[in-house]
Structure 1
Amino acid sequence: MATTTTSTVTTIAAQAYHVLKINGYSNTLKAGRHHPLSSCPFSAGGHTWHVSYYPHGCRDSNKDCISIFLVLEDIVTEEDVMAKATFSLLDRYENPVPSYTYHTELRNFSTSSGRARGFENFIRRDELERSEYLNDDYFAVAAHVIIPKEKPSVVVPPSNMHLHFGDLLVSKEGTDVKFLVGGEMFAAHRLVLAARSPVFKAELFGPTKKGTIDAIQIDNMEARVFKALLEFIYTDIWSEIGHGKDNVAMAQQLLAAADRYGLQRLKFVYEDKLCNHIDTCSVSTMLVLAEKHHCCKLKEACSTFLSSMSPPIVEDLNSSIFGSELEKTVSSSENHESQINRTDIRIQPWQNADV
């Protein structure tokens, strides 16, 4: 028997997105059992809320877990408050971790039925402590709160357009153009490429369009980079940056490739991510990359990093950037070529949460 997946359409009256930053995780473990720490209050839907964090769990049965709750601070007397909350553990770059994203249903928050909704077993402490999500005694949890205007009544399938286009790319059905990149052949659809990239549109349909040649050769790009580029064009999904120099180099190449083909969204994504991977070994390459591809945010991040270093090291780095290393760095870069406001919330150990 086939199963179907459905989602509920909610007319949103208000929403808020807050990041609870636990800076000093080990210190929070000194709190007593069942003792919650709370975030600063925030507003959504005309009400005041906060997030409660229990480092030792909220019950004896989950004392080895971390508990997270959304708490309504207001005293509600006339009617219940409907709200939906999503809690996501964030990685070191503050991207939600899919396997640690939890959704509460649309629930009533009231004085009589309770003013807290959340998860008693959000994550085991030992699992968090072994994971990459705890870095330098710091981790973060995002809380996304939605206040609906009315009770949801329409059930529709979730959007899966990206899956259909991804299948189209994989199956190669109806492809009408081929690319030779780094010794590998890639088949694609002219209309899809033209719809997503102004550069591909000019190359495939403009006055200087390429004719019916066997394959269009793309130089100065690795096959894996072009493959990732195609996957983004078809699905609007990008690869995350892992650890290690090779992963950072891949991100640098994807930024350059995105700029080359006018994919501004992808370019901004990797510019933002690379800002978190600047060190003494990479800052010269990053700065040249920022200059060449007009990445103001990355350039600013490099400048901030350099200004935080001692003068002798900065002088050495400047020499490598603007001296004989410049040509080498440029060559390396070529070859590997309405939002919701985010508010940081600091834990206040002296503020207790009434859950």
Structure 2
Amino acid sequence: MSTASPDSTAVGTSGGTSTVSVGTVTGWHVLKVERYSELKGVGIGKGEHIKSGTFSVGGHSWHIRIFPNGVDQVSPDWVFVGLYLVSSSNVVKAWPTFSVLNPDGKPARRVTSTGMQAARTFSSSSPWGCTYDCIKRAELESSYVKDDSFQIRCDVTVFKEIRVETATIESQIVPPPDLHRHLGDLLASDIGGDVTFEVGGETFPAHKYMLAARSSVFKAELFGPMKENATDQIRIDDMEPRVFKAMLHFIYTDMLPEVCSGELRTVMHQHLLVAADRYNMERLKLICEDVLGKCIDTNIAATTLVLAEQHDCPGLKEACFRFLRRPGNLRTVMASDGFQHLKNSCLSLLEELLAKVAL
């Protein structure tokens, strides 16, 4: 089983949009008023009106009313124009605009009251069921009445239902990172290799820039003052080929290859810890510390403690002390070959051990 592996979770995102819109239907109707002088004189009184024929917009019936002499006693100098909802079982929202037309039929002036630039609510059940706008009679007569007639156009926009459209935006599922796999394939293929290591009679091709990126020691050896006479072939002593191969695999993939279980696995991680410390590969070193700290027993406790002391692994060292504090463990370890190695190689460590662990 690999000791460490990159995140293998596929990444995907999803989202959506909502669009809110109002359906509208627009129509218009023109009311032409002839013999205007008669209407404003005796034909139509204050508050009385003339009306257009019925027309349909948005499925509803409407008509226009014009009040030539105002709608009440206080507005005799104004001409009022209004839109009426003739019949409908529902409340209707609409936006009417009124325009006085030139004799050629083109809009000349909008007739819209201040503050009324919005949709209005119409209902046939209302006493009015309408809306009014107005224009000064003097302005109408001086500018728009010709041959004793004028035209009023009403544009009606009926607002229908509010529509909400929702769209789901699905992104592509992004596969998990696979750089480690590609780099592992590169190592195995020997494509572009520019340096070869000789370890225990075996050769291992590699790439200088990859090694330099992963290890400050390799960087100095290959590109810095420590570089070995610009050679492309480097010999490494004091390391087993399988250990160097596993370290190379980690350099390229950030993972350790599958290793044997049991004692062989422990020995491999001990050697890898030494290699990681030698080449200043802190992550690999911590991985090895973690593995070794979980498999301490009476057979390897002493050698692991020496290893932790020699390669500055305080976490692993403390794990050994905790193991040796357990009843009976120290006495058993003291009878092992590893303990003799500890006594011969690290006297100060032995003194520290005896001071911390009571017999």
Larger radius of gyration: 2
**TM-score range, shorter-chain basis?**
0.3 to 0.5
Q: Which has the higher contact order (CA 8 A, sep 6+)?
A: 1
* Superposition TM-score, scaled by structure 2 size: 0.47
* Superposition TM-score, scaled by structure 1 size: 0.47
